[in-house]
A = this chain, B = another copy of it.
Amino acid sequence: MSNDRPGEFDLIKRYFAPLAKDPGSLGLTDDAAVLSPRAGFDLVLTKDVLAAGVHFFPHDAPEAIAAKALRVNLSDLAAKGARPRGYLMGLALHADWTTDWLDRFCKGLAADQAAFEVTLLGGDTIRSDNGLQISITALGEVKKDKAVRRSGAKPGDVLFVSGTIGDAAAGLKARLDGEFCRSMKLTESEERHIHERYLLPRPRTCLSDPLSRYANAAMDISDGLFADGKHMAIASSVDLAIDLDRVPLSGALRRVNSNNRLAWLDCLNGGDDYEILASVPEEKSGVFVQEAADSDCPVTRIGRVERGRGALTVYEANSPVNLKAEAGFSHF
């Protein structure tokens, strides 16, 4: 374990400057970055802070921690219809960091920069006696006035989600409870799947363009499908109706459902999905589905938007489910 901890300037030169490829980063030789959106585009900015013990486990692989910190921000950009452009990173190193750890952390960033076409623009590194904390501000570009908000859902819209729901929350349950996978009778590959979905969000940047073209409203699902649906309903001053039978599930989540319905509902609303919830006008929903599929980001119709004042109702076989009574979810 090498631990010849370099000073701030050496840190920048050795670890961070190689990640800074946009001319606006000034090669990280300055205290600031300079940039402008391309003509005809707006900038979209988002910020998420991740802390050890809250958003990841301190002993997770450094590459995975880096990827998660970046990806949760890219997920927000995608939901707004924006293509990622760059990010600033505030890194509070934990007391026992090593150069090996930082090397792996930066390799994780580099791999994701290549995968998602994004580059480091600037930031700040501090050392504190506290646990690791990563604060990323990500910037994306969207055509002028075409950013998608969570407040734009309209009665008559169709609700869609990308990917499958509940996997990450099941992965977290498995991390916290060594018996979870066995009691749910998951296969080895299902177990791997939920672990991976918890560890590594998959930001749906491939949906940016279809969202900005067709969606009235969108947001990424980080708090949980029902909780975030409720957030969209309130922000848009409409009611949302979700058909439980339509929510797309992985094999692992289908198995959880068949073994323990309560655990399954918990997973569906557990959050950390980083899938997109989108509200699309009925007449555009066909082309939206098609373009999403063409972008390798299939979406599933899960419900509809109705006149109302911020309620979310979940239906099963056309009857309302009482989530509060059945699963103890608040606010339902």
Task: Judge if A266 is at the interface, Cβ distance under 8 Å.
Answer: no
Task: Judge if A260 is at the interface, Cβ distance under 8 Å.
Answer: no
Count the A residues whose beta carbon is within 8 Å of the partner chain — how many? 60
Interchain CA distance A248-B94 in the complex, whole Å: 38
- Nearest CB in chain B to that of A9: its residue: B231
Task: Judge if A133 is at the interface, Cβ distance under 8 Å.
Answer: yes
The 8 Å CB contact of A54, one of B26, B54, B126, is B126
Interchain CA distance A137-B31 in the complex, whole Å: 12
Q: Known: A47-B88, A135-B135. Contact between A30 and B151, CB under 8 A? A: yes
A contact face: mostly helix, strand, loop, or mixed: strand
Please encode chain A, from 78 to 96, with 1 for each CB lying within 8 Å of some chain B CB and 0 for all others. Answer: 0110100000111110000
A323 to chain B: which residues have CB within 8 Å?
none
Task: Judge if A76 is at the interface, Cβ distance under 8 Å.
Answer: yes
Residues of A within 8 A of B (CB): 9, 26, 29-37, 41-51, 53-55, 76-77, 79-80, 82, 88-92, 121-131, 133, 135, 137, 139, 142, 144, 147, 149-151, 219-220, 231, 235
Given A47-B89, A51-B128, A54-B127, 17 other A-B residues pairs in contact with their CB atoms under 8 A: A32-B79, A32-B82, A33-B45, A34-B42, A35-B43, A35-B45, A36-B43, A45-B88, A47-B122, A47-B137, A49-B90, A49-B124, A53-B128, A54-B126, A88-B137, A90-B137, A128-B133
Q: List 8 A-B contacts (CB under 8 A).
A: A30-B149, A32-B44, A32-B79, A34-B147, A35-B43, A45-B88, A49-B90, A49-B91
